[in-house]
């Protein structure tokens, strides 16, 4: 059982595949990945997805369910010497018929030489390699290793899925707050989930901090209010509705503002989403798409501007990087528009299918 002093996100990790929420396309009944895990017959894989979507949790479930030796690495903490030592031990065990599964978290942080150290052992079948990354493996994993692994793309959790996880944490008496008498309306849970932007770990951390900060009512319950949540998040809670439609309403409003060449409106909707807790890199990706979809060849430089804005935010972070995104949004709004390439490409692909 997880220790009580562990973070809530750690305590609430699923213990079985049935407890795992999300990724139904990969882990639903009868799906290939689930069958491989349940049969303890998994090949080398890469889990690619955003933070808090379940990559490490899935690897730990595999560790619980496999009869193989399971070794876990963090790319932040180990070097090539430790890798080679573990690979030598795995090769020795392989000769006696024992299989070793090696899990590498944040594999994109390993350099080429470190990744190369795994390659001969993956090729020889001494190990089953499982890597987890938030970055595109095509750019961050060496080609020989990539060609010998199956890449599974994990999606961000939806707002309702995260709400389900939060409810589970509030009701679980062993690992969560089921014995602490915590009260939180559904609206509060949906606000926490919306702010988390698909990251279950971030949602758990917010809930845990809110519970610790909550005052007890006359009945002895810890009540999480909107005012408390605003204080915990250190920002105003702008409207983000339960089903998550407001997320799409706002990004649609930004897109329409760009198409309508309205820089004031584009700047407003961009700021509104950033202040609501939207992921800035999601907004950057959407603007990169707009540069090709709506601006196109009328102003080819728009693509470079949006990519530069994304890099600037990566470099500066918030809040300084928000200005680069704002500059890109205004630039797109003022740029001439052409969707000729977008339309032509759609016609070509539709004919091909």
Per-position DSSP letters for 77-105, written without gaps between them: T--HHHHHHHHHHHHHHHHTT--EEEEEE
Q: Domain map of the chain by residue range?
A: 22-153, 159-233, 245-340
For the stretch 192-237, pLDDT in tens is 887 787 889 999 999 999 998 888 877 778 888 888 888 887 765 5
CATH of domain 159-233: 1.10.8.60
- DSSP codes, 267-327: HHHHHHHHHTT--HHHHHHHHHHHIIIIIGGGSTHHHHHHHHHHHHHHHH-TTTTHHHHHH
pLDDT at 50: 87
Phi, psi of 51 (to 5 degrees): -60, 145
Q: Give the span between the Cα atoms of 5 and 51, in whole angstroms.
A: 23
Q: 22-153: CATH homologous superfamily?
A: P-loop containing nucleotide triphosphate hydrolases (3.40.50.300)
Instruction: Look at residue 178 and tell me whether its pLDDT is greater than 90.
Output: no
CATH 1.20.272.10 fits 245-340, yes or no: yes
pLDDT at 170: 93
pLDDT at 274: 86
Predicted confidence band of residue 238 (pLDDT cuts 50, 70, 90): low
The pTM (predicted TM-score) of the whole model is: 0.71
Whether 245-340 and 22-153 are alike in CATH topology: the answer is no
Instruction: Look at residue 250 and tell me whether its pLDDT is greater than 60.
Output: yes
């Amino acid at each position: 059982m997880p220790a009580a002093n562990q973070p809530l996100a750690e305590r609430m990790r699923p213990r079985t595949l049935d407890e795992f929420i999300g990724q139904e396309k990969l882990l639903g009944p009868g799906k290939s990945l689930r069958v491989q895990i349940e049969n303890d017959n998994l090949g080398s894989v890469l889990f690619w997805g955003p933070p808090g979507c379940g990559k490490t949790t899935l690897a730990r479930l595999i560790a619980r369910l496999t009869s193989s030796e399971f070794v876990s690495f963090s790319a932040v903490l180990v070097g090539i010497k430790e890798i080679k030592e573990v690979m030598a031990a795995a090769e020795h065990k392989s000769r006696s018929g024992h299989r070793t599964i090696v899990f590498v978290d944040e594999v994109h942080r390993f350099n080429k030489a470190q990744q190369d150290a795994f390659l001969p052992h993956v090729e020889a079948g001494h190990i089953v390699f499982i890597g987890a990354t938030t970055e595109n493996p095509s750019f961050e994993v060496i080609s020989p290793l990539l060609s010998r692994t199956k890449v599974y793309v994990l999606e961000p959790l939806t707002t309702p899925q995260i709400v389900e996880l939060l409810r589970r944490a509030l009701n679980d008496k062993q690992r969560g707050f089921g014995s602490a008498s915590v009260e939180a309306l559904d609206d509060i849970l949906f606000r926490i989930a919306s702010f988390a932007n698909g990251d279950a770990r971030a949602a758990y951390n917010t809930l845990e901090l809110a519970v610790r900060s909550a005052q007890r009512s006359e009945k002895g319950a810890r009540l999480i209010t909107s005012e408390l949540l605003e204080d915990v998040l250190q920002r105003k809670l702008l409207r983000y509705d339960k089903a998550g439609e407001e997320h799409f309403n706002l990004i649609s409003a930004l897109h329409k503002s760009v198409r309508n060449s309205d820089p004031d409106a584009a700047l407003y909707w961009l700021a509104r989403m950033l202040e609501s807790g939207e992921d800035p890199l999601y907004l950057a990706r959407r603007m990169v798409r707009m540069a090709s979809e709506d601006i196109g060849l009328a102003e080819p430089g728009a693509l470079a501007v949006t990519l530069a804005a994304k890099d600037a935010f990566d470099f500066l972070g918030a809040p300084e990087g928000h200005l680069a995104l704002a500059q890109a949004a205004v630039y797109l709004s003022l740029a001439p528009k052409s969707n000729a390439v977008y339309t032509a490409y759609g016609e070509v692909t539709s004919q091909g299918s």
